[in-house]
Amino acid sequence: MKIGIPKEIKNNESRVGMTPAGVYELTKYGHTVYIQSTAGEGSGFFDNDYKKAGALILDTIGQVYGISEMIVKVKEPTEVEYALVQPQQIVFTYFHFASSEALTEAMIKSKSICIAYETVEDDEGTLPLLTPMSEVAGRMAIQQGAKYLEKPVKGRGVLLGGVPGVAPGRVLVLGAGIVGIQAAKMAAGLGAHVTILDINMKRLRYVNDVMPPHVVTEFSNEFNIRKHIKTHDLIIGGVLLKGAKAPNLITKDMLKEMRPGTVIVDVAVDQGGCVETTKPTTHEDPIYIIDDVVHYCVANMPGAVPHTSTMALTNVTLPYVIKLANLGWQKATAKDACLQKGLNIVEGEIVYDEIKEAFQI
Ligand SMILES: NC(=O)c1ccc[n+]([C@@H]2O[C@H](COP(=O)([O-])OP(=O)(O)OC[C@H]3O[C@@H](n4cnc5c(N)ncnc54)[C@H](O)[C@@H]3O)[C@@H](O)[C@H]2O)c1
């Protein structure tokens, strides 16, 4: 199969759909990989790395879309790309169709086969192509939180690990899912005291089994949250109710009960946030302060570490890319129930119920 990797043109997107390692694997199976010149630079992969792995470099995005039977990328096609998508072409990427009617209409019109990373779903109902980005964001949350706890950026002036003779900082993690567990692990590794809250006892039992004793689990309810916000330095929001807006576990009035310089990193900002005062920020201007509490609410945290994020993403997408290339989309999706859930739009027809519901089709 001819596989094309265009350069991402969405604002501030430095990830790329395939690493040189992916090119190497696909060429081993006899496939041809075309990559747009400089597509990998933002992630630290250069044209020469791709050439050595067996890719052919093309100058323009139009050439990549024009020649490829399958496009593998990261973000949904932008408006400029709508007309470049070809009939019967497989497009394998994050789409998030329900949030854009224009994109949905354009892909229906293109008669392409749109397979969305975010709806590939395994037997347990987890989303394997979203997990790595939650892992990145969870780990990064502590890195960012530790930075904003410093006094020059209006934090409490607390070193998370403490020092001999001085107690460590205290981190409160809301949600013991992918984000929460990765955050707890990083904070614990720095030596901080960690309290992690969830409403799912299975998750809390798991955390209790695998984490060191300075990671303490408690059931999530308003009483416990009100108690802990007074004594914790850094609060991580990692709560998710599938398909719904995140619940406001921290309300505006609670900010007054926190100590000045407390930092909130609300990772759940992309689902509305679990703090009432959360509003989305960007890497250029990541924080704001309300009632002396520092809020970090960047909606695309993994975008700041594209080298790691690209590798984390392509590690999990590559096996599906290989399957699609080896078998073609019909056989690959017929054989693999997880991949089949990724089918969103096929040759002009929406085949995923939630998208139909979103636009009342
Ligand atoms: N900002 C970013 O860049 C970024 C990146 C990746 C993920 N995210 C977001 O982070 C959020 C968490 O993602 P995840 O992959 O960890 O989800 P997940 O489903 O693995 O975990 C969510 C956890 O929240 C728990 N929960 C639900 N209600 C709760 C409550 N009232 N109190 C405490 N816990 C509660 C659930 O039981 C679950 O364990 C999502 O909104 C996701 O979209 C943001």
Selected residue with higher pLDDT from 299 and 180 = 180
Distance from C-alpha of 194 to C-alpha of 215, rounded to nearest angstrom: 5
Active site residue 307: no
Q: Which residue has the tokens 């416990």?
A: 224
Distance from C-alpha of 28 to C-alpha of 26, rounded to nearest angstrom: 5
Section 172-178 average pLDDT = 97
pLDDT number for residue 347: 98
pLDDT surpasses 80 at 244: no
Section 291-301 average pLDDT = 96
How far does the centroid of ligand 1 lie from the alpha carbon of residue 297, in Å?
14
The DSSP H or E segment spanning 5 is strand 2-5
Section 227-248 average pLDDT = 91
Closest residue by CA, ligand 1 atom 37: 200
pLDDT surpasses 70 at 337: yes
Segment 108-133, tens digit of pLDDT: 999 999 999 999 999 988 899 999 99
pLDDT number for residue 99: 80
Residues with CB under 6 A from ligand 1: 133-134, 137, 174-180, 197-200, 203, 220, 238-241, 246-247, 249, 267-271, 299-302
Distance from C-alpha of 176 to C-alpha of 239, rounded to nearest angstrom: 8
Closest residue by CA, ligand 1 atom 12: 238
pLDDT surpasses 90 at 359: no
**Crossing angle of helices 178-190 and 201-210, rounded to 10°:** 30
pLDDT number for residue 10: 86
How far does the centroid of ligand 1 lie from the alpha carbon of residue 309, in Å?
18
Phi, psi of 198 (to 5 degrees): -155, 165
**Which ligand 1 atom sits nearest the alpha carbon of residue 266?**
1
pTM confidence score:
0.91
- Reported as a pLDDT band with limits 50, 70 and 90, residue 360 is confident
pLDDT surpasses 90 at 291: yes
Phi, psi of 266 (to 5 degrees): -95, 90
pLDDT number for residue 328: 98
pLDDT surpasses 70 at 209: yes
- Beta carbons of 74 and 15 less than 8 angstroms apart: yes
- How much is the mean pLDDT over the chain? 96
State percent of the chain over pLDDT 90.
Answer: 91
Section 324-332 average pLDDT = 98
Section 247-259 average pLDDT = 97
Residue ranges in 162-292 assigned as alpha helix (H): 178-190, 201-210, 222-229
pLDDT number for residue 48: 98
Q: Which of 121, 123, 141 is nearest to 131 (CA)?
A: 121
Which residues are CB-neighbours of 326 under 8 A, at least 6 positions away?
A: 29, 332
pLDDT number for residue 184: 98
Which segment of 124-128, 260-264, 337-341 scores lowest on mean pLDDT?
124-128
- Beta carbons of 88 and 54 less than 8 angstroms apart: no
- Beta carbons of 333 and 305 less than 8 angstroms apart: no
Which residue in the list 47, 49, 228, 270 is annotated as catalytic? 270
pLDDT number for residue 245: 77
Reduced to 3 states (helix: H, G, I; strand: E, B; else coil), residue 297 is coil
Active site residue 47: no
Which residue in the list 96, 228, 292, 307 is annotated as catalytic? 96
How far does the centroid of ligand 1 lie from the alpha carbon of residue 276, in Å?
16
- Reported as a pLDDT band with limits 50, 70 and 90, residue 241 is confident
pLDDT number for residue 208: 97
Both structure tokens of 338: 């997880």
Question: Which of 13, 173, 223, 239 best tests ligand 1's pocket when mutated (most atoms within 8 Å of CB)?
Answer: 239
Q: Which of 262, 261, 253, 266 is nearest to 296 (CA)?
A: 266
Segment 53-107, tens digit of pLDDT: 999 999 999 999 999 999 999 999 999 999 999 999 999 999 989 888 999 999 9
pLDDT number for residue 243: 63
pLDDT surpasses 90 at 1: yes
